[in-house]
Amino acid sequence: MNHRRIIEGALAAVLLAGGFGRALAAEAEPVGSETCLGCHAERDVKKKLHTKAMSTAKGVPFDKACETCHGPGSLHAAAAGDKSSPGFATIKNPKDQSAAEQSETCLTCHKQKNLTLWGTSSHKQGGLSCAKCHTMHGDQKKNLAKDGVETCLTCHKKQRGELQLASHHPLIEGRMTCAGCHNPHGGVSGNLRGETVEDTCFKCHADKAGPFMHEHPPVVEECTTCHKPHGSANATLLKQGEPMLCLRCHKWPHTESTNNVSAMKTKTFEQRSRCTDCHNQIHGSDRKAGLKD
């Protein structure tokens, strides 16, 4: 009998607590963004383009801007910073949500075409949410939490050293971002903007795309056959220095002729150790089969 009463009492307590919790959630009401800024003034949301765009694009006036994403805040505001208060945690904090819940908030409004493949993207499968890279309260472009390159290098650490090598795209100079070549929201081939590596590279480097009368097969196959796009110690982002890169597929053909006698001479190596000095149309040529002007 005593055991039964204890169990009933515990069950009633659980139900009461749950009901009380539900009652708390049901009672939370919007308080307006000015109330939020009373404690969270550092968010400075009035000056953020996201706040302005919400008003225009989605008809969400500034007064409702905070609670559209974070939920009604009356109980949270009433807690006045007391974390032990039951009402304090009724506000939606992205840090307490799963990746899917965080992203759901953003994807309710954001349906741009570069998000079409997000559902099966490697970032989403890896457990990333929008809030991992973006923040509505920041000053960076595209609402990134850090600038365009630092956001990516937080996880992709190997590329940090490559970007500092002698030959590199102007990322560390701030003139380009990772998103110039990659779509972090998902692409057909990994996270590239183009369908293939070549489609990605040929957008800015269309002079290499051809088609040419005389093609260089590694160019047709894939740019990364010869290049390292994130950075290289060799000129023009090559994987190995010349002539080593070329000699991995080709025999050295050059001899020098003196008095009609052909031979390997020191002069041969002095003048021809950098193949693209002469083979300057290495990506393809309409002029000569030797890929040069």
Partner 1 sequence: MNPRENMKMKNLIAGVLSALLAVPAGAEPLLSASVEPVFYTGELKGNRGLVMEYDGRQFTRSKAKYNWDNSGAAGKLSLGTGSDEGYFGFGADYQNTYDGSVGYQLGLGKAWRMSGEYDSLMHRQPFTWSAIGLNGAYYPNPVIANRGAFNSDFWFQRQAYDLKNRFTLPTQSPVSLFFDYWRVDKEGDAPARLASTPLAATSQIRNTTQDFAAGAQVEVGKTAGVDYEHLYRTFEDNSQLVIITNPSRPRIQSTQWNVNEVKFRCSPSPTMAFTGTLANSDRKNEFNGYRVKTYSGSLAGSFAPAKDLSLTARLYSRGTLVRENQFLTRDERRGTGDDSQVDKNTFRGDFQARYRLGPAHLKGNYRLEYNTRRGAPVVPFDTAGIYQDGLVVSSNTQATVMAAQDTKHILSLGLAYELPLDIEIEAEIKRLIANRPVFDALPNWQDTADLSLAVPLPKNLSLLGAVNYLQERNNMSNLMKGSRTQALYMAGLSWMSKFVSLGADYQHENARTYSEGYFGATNYVSRNNTYLRTLIHDPGMYYKEINDTLGGNVRVALPKGIALKGQGSFTRSVLRIPVNIPAAVQRQVAGEDHGDVTDLGPSNVGIYQLGFGVEYHPEMFESFSAKLGYRTNQWSDKNDSRNNGRVNVVETSLSAKF
Residue ranges in 29-88 that form contacts with partner 1 under rule CB under 8 A: 46-49, 51-53, 55-59, 61-62
How far apart, in whole angstroms, are the C-alpha atoms of residue 223 and residue 221?
Answer: 7
Separation of alpha carbons 39 and 66, rounded Å:
13
CA distance 97 to 91: 11
Length of the chain: 293
Residue among 74 and 183 whose Cβ is closer to partner 1: 183
User: CB-wise, 84 or 257, nearer to partner 1?
Assistant: 257
DSSP letter, residue 236? G
What mask of x and - would describe binding to partner 1 in positions 178 to 207, judged by CB under 8 A?
--------x-xx-----xx------xx-xx
Q: Are 222 and 198 in contact (CB under 8 A)?
A: yes
Helix (H, G, I), strand (E, B) or coil at 214: strand
In the range 117-176, which residues lie near partner 1 by CB under 8 A?
117-120, 124-126, 157-158, 160-161, 164-166, 170, 173, 175
Nearer to partner 1, 85 or 182 (CB): 182
The stretch among 14-22, 67-75, 87-95, 228-236 that binds partner 1 (CB under 8 A) is 228-236
| DSSP classification of residue 258 | E
Question: Counting contacts by CB under 8 A, is residue 109 touching partner 1?
Answer: no
> Is position 18 an interface residue for partner 1 (rule: CB under 8 A)?
no
Closest to 237 measured CA to CA, from 225, 228, 246, 247: 228
Nearer to partner 1, 90 or 121 (CB): 121
Structure tokens at 29: 């009401």
Binding residue (CB under 8 A) for partner 1 from 13, 14, 19, 255: 255
Q: Which of residues 259-288 bind partner 1 (CB under 8 A)?
A: 260-267, 269-271, 273-274, 277-280, 286-288
CA-CA-CA-CA torsion sign (198, 200, 201, 205): positive
Asked whether 66 and 34 are in contact (CB, 8 A), the reply is no
Q: Is 242 in the site for partner 1 (CB under 8 A)?
A: yes
Q: Provide, rounded to whole angstroms, the least separation between the CB of residue 193 and partner 1.
A: 12
